[in-house]
């Protein structure tokens, strides 16, 4: 009788804890704690610190004071800042359009039956695998004013009579950097879209062929709509990567000539670290946030499950 009572009271004592752990919400919260702690330490804290610094006049070696929106007010009147915003938008837009056009084309090519398919796909990934700085240095040489292999070849082919100054004039430098970014970014787009293409059932194309669709109509009415969900994810990532690009610019032009290739990320670094104005640099970096939020939101709405994706999934 006593043993029974003891074990019963033990059972009662343990019951609340076990019951709490049985609760799905509590369990989910507990399981998310480690991840949340990591995010808070390594993402939220630096982000918060950056935003805070933007409201101070901190310099390297001197703790700053809260100065409200003064940094932003001075940036508003800073023509270099607005040039850089323009550069960033131009860089992002042109590079993204090119990356998607060429990446989709490449993905469609690789989706065909080709000899050495696996090898070709591996080769396509190469530009993405090479460290950015390494490829940046390679591009720096390709674009060099005196030793450019590109100018050399074009001259030998008789297309130009004097070497092109790739990085010396603003528009040439912008175009050169965009080309380098596109070269690096295509593999990511192509491989992701290829994965998307491979999920499309071949019988859809056969049905469309029997329905009388030409190959352009099959692309337009089958491939594109079926690819849209993955396309919008890849587009978001690509826009975010391109908008925040730093390495390529800093390694090839450092923002020159005359700030014509500075992006917001490189300008923020330039002012904060070599320039010592931590507060102002942080304000420039913080100014990127609205653009990034806008890009993310637009993709969020683009990503929402389309009507045809809803419902039973036992396809």
Q: Taking CB under 8 A as the rule, does residue 215 contact another protein? A: no
Cα–Cα distance measured from residue 53 to residue 63, given in angstroms and rounded to the nearest whole number: 10
Under the criterion CB under 8 A, does residue 211 sit at the interface with another protein?
A: yes
Give me the count of residues in the chain. 315
Between 22 and 312, CB nearer to another protein: 312
Interface with another protein, residue 19, by CB under 8 A = no
Closest to another protein by CB, 116 or 216 = 216
β-strand partners of 59: 62
Question: Counting contacts by CB under 8 A, is residue 113 touching another protein?
Answer: no
Residue 59: other Cβ atoms inside 10 A: 15
Nearer to another protein, 24 or 307 (CB): 307
Q: Does position 216 bind another protein by CB under 8 A?
A: no
| From 33, 129, 210, 216, residue interacting with another protein (rule: CB under 8 A) | 210
Closer residue to another protein (CB): 108 or 213: 213
Nearer to another protein, 41 or 198 (CB): 198
The reply on whether position 198 binds another protein by CB under 8 A is: no
Rounded CA-CA distance 136/249 in Å is 8
Q: Select 41 or 217, whichever has its Cβ closest to another protein.
A: 217
The nearer residue to another protein, 19 or 211, going by C-beta atoms, is: 211
Cα–Cα distance measured from residue 10 to residue 31, given in angstroms and rounded to the nearest whole number: 27
Residue 209 as a binder of another protein (CB under 8 A): the answer is: yes
Q: Is 212 one of the binding residues for another protein (CB under 8 A)?
A: yes
Shortest separation between residue 223's beta carbon and another protein, angstroms = 11
Joined together, the tokens standing for residue 237 give 């990532």
Tell me if 193 sits within 8 A of 234, measured CB to CB.
Answer: yes
| Residue 201 in the binding site for another protein (CB under 8 A) | yes
Q: How far apart are CA 67 and CA 282, in angstroms?
A: 13
Q: How far is CA 114 from the centre of its chain?
A: 30
Contacts for 17 with CB less than 8 Å, ≥ 6 apart: none
Binding mask 218-247 for another protein (x = CB under 8 A): ---xx--xx---------------------
DSSP state of 305: P
Residue 304 binds another protein, judged by CB under 8 A: no
Site track for another protein across 121-160, x = CB under 8 A = ----------------------------------------
Position 301 contacts another protein (CB under 8 A): no
Alpha helices in the chain (DSSP H): 2-22, 24-39, 45-54, 70-76, 79-110, 117-129, 132-142, 149-156, 170-198, 202-210, 215-218, 224-243, 247-252, 264-272, 278-303
CA atoms of 229 and 234, how far apart (whole Å): 9
Q: Return residues touching another protein (CB under 8 A).
A: 201, 203-204, 206-213, 217, 221-222, 225-226, 306-315
């Amino acid at each position: 009788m006593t043993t029974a009572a003891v074990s019963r009271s033990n059972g009662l004592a343990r019951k609340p804890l076990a019951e709490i752990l049985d609760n799905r919400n509590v369990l989910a919260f507990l399981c998310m704690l480690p991840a949340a702690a990591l995010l808070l330490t390594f993402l939220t804290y630096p982000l918060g610190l950056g935003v805070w610094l933007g409201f101070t006049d901190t310099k390297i070696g001197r703790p700053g004071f809260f100065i409200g929106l003064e940094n932003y007010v001075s940036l508003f009147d800073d023509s270099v800042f607005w040039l850089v915003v323009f550069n960033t938008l131009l860089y992002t837009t042109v590079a993204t359009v090119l990356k998607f056009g060429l990446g989709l084309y490449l993905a469609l090519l690789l989706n065909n039956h080709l000899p050495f398919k696996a090898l070709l796909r591996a080769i396509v990934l190469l530009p993405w695998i090479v460290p950015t700085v390494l490829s940046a240095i390679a591009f720096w040489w390709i674009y060099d004013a005196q030793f450019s292999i590109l100018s050399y070849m074009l001259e030998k082919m008789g297309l130009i009579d004097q070497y092109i100054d790739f990085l010396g004039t603003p528009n040439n430098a912008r175009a050169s950097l965009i080309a380098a970014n596109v070269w690096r970014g295509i593999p990511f787009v192509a491989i992701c879209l290829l994965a998307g293409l491979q999920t499309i059932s071949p019988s859809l194309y056969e049905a469309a062929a029997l329905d009388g669709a030409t190959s352009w109509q099959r692309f337009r009415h089958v491939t594109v709509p079926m690819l849209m969900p993955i396309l919008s994810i890849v587009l978001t990532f690509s826009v975010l990567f391109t908008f925040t690009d730093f390495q390529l610019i800093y390694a090839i032009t450092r923002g020159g000539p005359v700030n014509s290739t500075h992006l917001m990320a490189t300008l923020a670094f330039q002012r904060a670290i070599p320039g010592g104005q931590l507060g102002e640099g942080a304000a420039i970096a913080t100014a990127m946030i609205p653009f990034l939020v806008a890009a993310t939101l637009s993709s969020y709405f683009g990503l929402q499950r389309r009507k045809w994706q809803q419902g039973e999934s036992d396809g």
